[in-house]
Amino acid sequence: MTEQSTDLLHKELSEPFTVAREAIEHFDTYGYVKLKNVLSEALLSHYDSLITDLVFKLNKLTKPMEERTTYERAFLQVMNLWRESEEVKEFVFSKRLAKIATDLLQVKGVRLYHDQALYKESTGGITPWHADQFYWPLSSPKTATVWIPLQKTSMEMGPLAFAEKSHHVEIGRDLEISDESEALMSEQLKQFRLNEGPFDLGEVSFHAGWLFHRAGANTSGYPRKVMTMIYMDADQKITQPKNEYQQADWETWLSSRPIGGATDGELNPMLFSY
C-alpha cells in the first residue's frame, strides 16, 4: 500500500461520524445500536490482513475443536493487539469510533478498557448468552463495545444477536459465559425482543456492558473475523473485584490500580474527549 493510500485510511479513522439523535436514543433504550457505512471496504480489507496475521501469530488455542469447552469453541480470542503493532494501534485508537462511543454513552470522553479480536472458526460453536460487564471491576454502566466484522457477516457465520432492553434488568448478572448462562438466559430472555440480523460490510454495532448478547455457530465454511474495542467513560472508577474474573481483569487491564481510583493507567489511554 502506498504512503498516500495509508494516509487516506488514517484520515478515515480520524474523521468524525455523525451519530443521529435516533441512534443515541436507540442505544439508551435498547442497549445497542447497529450503524451502517461506518468504515469503508478499503479500510476493512487493509486492517483485516494486519489483524488476521496477528491473531494467527498470537493465538494459543490449538487443541482440536472436539476437545474444547463451549467457551473455547465459540472463538479464538486475542487481546490488546494495539500493543503488538503500531499499524493495528492506529485502528484501535480510531477517534472516529471512539467519538461514536462517547456520543452513545452521552459522556465527555472515553478511555480504552482493552481491545480483542474474536475469530469464530469455520466450525466454531455458539457464543452463549452473557453480559460483558460481569467480567469488569468498574463502577458505572457507562461502557460500550464496538463489534466490527471484517467481512460481510451472514446468518450462517453467527452474527452478534442482542436481547433488547436486557441491560435494564438484574437477571443473570452473576453468570460467566457458559452452557449454564446459555440455558438459563435462553429461558429468562424470552420476555425480550431479539435482534439477530446479519451485518453488511462496513456495518458495526455498539452494545452496552450489561446488555445480554450471543452469537450462533459458524456453519458458513469460512472464518468469521471480528475486531472489538471496549470503551469506558473517562470518569469511570475501579471497584473491588466481585469474582475471580474481575480480579484477573483488575490485575491485567487496570494494572492493579487503587480501588476507588480512576481508570487512567498507561493501558487505558484516552481515545476521545470533548
Report pLDDT digits (tens) over 3-51: 777 889 999 999 999 999 999 999 999 999 999 999 999 999 999 999 9
| CATH number of the domain that residue 202 is part of | 2.60.120.620
Asked if the structure places residue 274 within a domain, the reply is no
Residue 3: HSE in the Cβ half-sphere, 13 Å Cα cutoff: 0
Query: What confidence score (pLDDT) does residue 74 get?
Result: 79
158: left (phi over 0), alpha (psi -120 to 50) or beta: left
180-207 mean pLDDT: 93
The SS3 call for residue 164 is coil
Residue 206: HSE in the Cβ half-sphere, 13 Å Cα cutoff: 27
- What predicted TM-score, i.e. pTM, was given to this entire model? 0.95
- Of 1-10, 69-78, 238-247, the range with the highest mean pLDDT is 238-247
Please check whether residue 100 is in contact with residue 17, taking contact to mean a CB–CB distance below 8 angstroms: yes
Under the banding of pLDDT at 50, 70 and 90, the label for residue 171 is confident
- Name residue, grid cell 472516529: 96
Domain that holds residue 156: 3-269
Least confident range from 155-159, 175-179, 202-206: namely 175-179
- Per-residue pLDDT tens digits for 103-161: 999 999 999 999 999 999 999 999 999 999 999 999 999 999 999 999 999 999 999 99
218-246 mean pLDDT: 97
Asked if the structure places residue 12 within a domain, the reply is yes
Under the banding of pLDDT at 50, 70 and 90, the label for residue 1 is low
Q: How many CB atoms lie within 10 A of CB 109?
A: 18
pLDDT at 166 > cutoff 90: yes
How many domains is the chain built from?
Answer: 1
pLDDT at 63 > cutoff 70: yes
pLDDT at 2 > cutoff 80: no
